[in-house]
Chain A
Amino acid sequence: KNEVEQSPQNLTAQEGEFITINCSYSVGISALHWLQQHPGGGIVSLFMLSSGKKKHGRLIATINIQEKHSSLHITASHPRDSAVYICAVTGSDTGNQFYFGTGTSLTVIP
């Protein structure tokens, strides 16, 4: 049983395309996180959100608490966006512990 499900698992896009990665979760949460991991690299936190929408450069994250769903959008995608994007949630009754999705591997082709 996975508390956090992501789709798609793999995604290939042409440079410039608009990209959407989806995340659904089944537990009550206090926050949802989007993380980025480049090949062979470390894990970087992109967003932490508990409601509404956040934007950072070409990245936009939204969350719908009622539907237990979040999306990560990338506008005007670029090859340097190629990475694994991981959705994670902090359970509302699990203290500081996270539940992680298995990640979406994005490849942006020039």
Chain B
Amino acid sequence: DAGITQSPRHKVTETGTPVTLRCHQTENHRYMYWYRQDPGHGLRLIHYSYGVKDTDKGEVSDGYSVSRSKTEDFLLTLESATSSQTSVYFCAISAGGGYTFGSGTRLTVV
């Protein structure tokens, strides 16, 4: 979607290294979300934000942190990547009851 972009699209990293994924929106929406998608689990909420510097944990937040210093950017950080964090990560924004998803980031931790 033109209003939300994720970077990088693909990343391979080594166990124990820090990784930051970026979500950028041009829509000025208040709510932003980070999900991970794994086979058999569907989409699971990691963290979400309801405004600048306002964030909260989702159901699978362990090992992840987030920051939102500007309305348009929501960063997801894996402080010390583990193989269990190999997944596809989706950012989403919420407005008018609907969701718009980013294109996803495929992260592989080796």
Contacts and interface: CB of A to CB of B under 8 A. Distances in A.
Contacts, number: 47
Given A96-B31, A102-B40, A31 B97 contact: yes
A31 B95 CA distance: 13
A110 B69 CA distance: 50
Given A43-B101, A102-B42, A97 B48 contact: yes
A41 B104 CA distance: 8
A86 B42 contact: yes
B43 A100 contact: yes
Contacts of A98: 43, 45, 99
B100 interface: yes
A-side binding surface: helix, strand, loop or mixed?
strand
A33 B94 CA distance: 13
Among B43, B58, B103, max chain A CB count under 10 A is at B43
Contact of A42 (B40, B42, B102): B102
B-side binding surface: helix, strand, loop or mixed?
strand
Interface of B: 1, 31, 40-45, 48, 50, 58, 90, 94, 97-104
23 contacts: A30-B97, A31-B97, A42-B90, A42-B102, A43-B90, A43-B104, A45-B99, A45-B100, A45-B101, A86-B43, A96-B31, A96-B48, A96-B94, A97-B45, A97-B48, A97-B58, A98-B43, A98-B99, A100-B43, A100-B44, A101-B42, A102-B41, A102-B42
